[in-house]
Chain A
Amino acid sequence: MAKTNPLNSSPKQKQSRHSVTIKKDKCKGCKLCVIYCPTKHLRLSDTLNKRGVHYAEINETTQCVGCGRCYLMCPDCCIEIIEE
């Protein structure tokens, strides 16, 4: 009988996923969330919002790790993080 690695044989744990919600019309485009995001999950948009600024939007190519740095640094409280 081949030895099995106990770590591999254990059932796969459910990974928690996080999603970021941004209120785009409240965003003033200060870019602090973009700077402090460790996975570059946020970026500034190419289009303008109601205020006439390039607002923060989600970069779909990377994943949110749910660290909350964007939430901590957002001066306008327009970022919230949902755990799924």
Chain B
Amino acid sequence: MKPTYKFKKPELLHGVDTHYCSGCGHGILHRLIAEIIEELNLKEKTIGVAPVGCAVIAYNYWDFDCSEASHGRALAVATGIKRVHPSLTVFTYQGDGDLASIGLAETMHAANRGENLTCVFVNNACYGMTGGQMAPTTLIGQKTATTPLGRDPREKEGWPLKVSEILAMLPGVCFVARSSISNPAHVKQTHDYIKRAFMNQTEEKGFSIVEVLSPCPTIWQKTPEEAMNWIDTEMTKEFPLGIIKNTEVHR
């Protein structure tokens, strides 16, 4: 007899081993995106754009069409794909160094044009792949490779950049939400937000972005458990969770 699965690996996720560190949040997010595309039956109608960062070879783990963009340019590439194929669902998967630092111009203008795209923004408060340098979203006092004494806004480093709140002010943006994957309840909430963002695109409502607070245990020099607790106790103080904007863009 065939076993009935209550929880099963989504078919759109290849069974290959990922290159991510132990306890990395990318694995959970890859699974959520595969689940959502499966639920919305968008397998043959989706193109993902992978970023530069730890998730640079994300297309090796998903069983749908993907493209790769240069550092920070994922939303510019996604704009091109969407304009050529308006019937397809196009999403970008970007980290904080990619979206909020080097690609801030592309992000702001894609959002301001109100492109009908979905963006998954993975915020782990550091540059993970390059060795843990300070990112725009690094918290005040957080020690990184380039801020060994902790980020100090009165020196040269400035304050954490709240990209979601900035984007929520633009009229072309229809849905902005922030969630985390620090416990099972938040993982389910993240699933709902990302699903909403994909549905907004099929309903042609405008630009949707979901910011996900994700752990980076290796760079934070914590165990996976401590990293999850740090998101709940420290990161959510600076980056409060919830829906920031939910409207319909009038074209």
Which A residues lie at the B interface, using CB under 8 A?
Answer: 18, 26, 28-32, 35-36, 53, 66, 68-69, 71-77, 79-84
Q: Number of B interface residues, CB 8 Å?
A: 29
7 other contacts beyond A28-B23, A68-B184, with CB at 8 A cut-off?
A28-B22, A35-B225, A77-B31, A79-B7, A80-B8, A82-B4, A83-B6
Output the least CB separation between B36 and chain A (Å).
14
Contact present for B27 and A75 (CB under 8 Å): yes
Contact present for B28 and A82 (CB under 8 Å): no
> Which residues on the B side are within 8 Å of A31 (C-beta)?
23, 223-225
Output the least CB separation between B4 and chain A (Å).
5
Q: Is the interface of B mostly helix, strand, loop or mixed?
A: mixed
Contact present for A81 and B6 (CB under 8 Å): yes
Contact present for A18 and B13 (CB under 8 Å): no
Output the least CB separation between A22 and chain B (Å).
12
Contact present for A75 and B28 (CB under 8 Å): yes
Once A and B bind, how many residue pairs between them come within 8 Å at the CB atom?
A: 72
> Which residues on the A side are within 8 Å of B223 (C-beta)?
31
Residue B162, interface by CB 8 Å? no
Output the least CB separation between A20 and chain B (Å).
9
> Which residues on the B side are within 8 Å of A73 (C-beta)?
28, 183-184, 187
Residue B9, interface by CB 8 Å? yes
Output the least CB separation between B211 and chain A (Å).
19
Contact present for A80 and B187 (CB under 8 Å): no
> Which residues on the A side are within 8 Å of B17 (C-beta)?
26, 76
Output the least CB separation between A27 and chain B (Å).
9
| B30 (CB) vs chain A CBs: closest residue | A77
Contact present for A30 and B184 (CB under 8 Å): no
> CB within 8 A of A75: which of B3, B24, B183, B188?
B24
> Which residues on the A side are within 8 Å of B8 (C-beta)?
80
| B217 (CB) vs chain A CBs: closest residue | A30
Contact present for A68 and B7 (CB under 8 Å): yes
Residue B103, interface by CB 8 Å? no
| A38 (CB) vs chain B CBs: closest residue | B184
Known: A30-B22, A30-B23, A31-B225. A77 touches B184 (CB 8 A): no
> CB within 8 A of A66: which of B6, B18, B20?
B6
> Which residues on the B side are within 8 Å of A75 (C-beta)?
18, 20, 22-28
> CB within 8 A of A82: which of B6, B225, B228?
B6
Complex CA–CA separation, A74 to B223 (angstroms): 15
> CB within 8 A of A80: which of B5, B25, B183?
B5
> Which residues on the B side are within 8 Å of A69 (C-beta)?
184
Contact present for A72 and B9 (CB under 8 Å): no
> Which residues on the B side are within 8 Å of A36 (C-beta)?
183-184
Contact present for A83 and B31 (CB under 8 Å): no
| A69 (CB) vs chain B CBs: closest residue | B184
Complex CA–CA separation, A83 to B20 (angstroms): 30
| B16 (CB) vs chain A CBs: closest residue | A26
Output the least CB separation between B190 and chain A (Å).
10
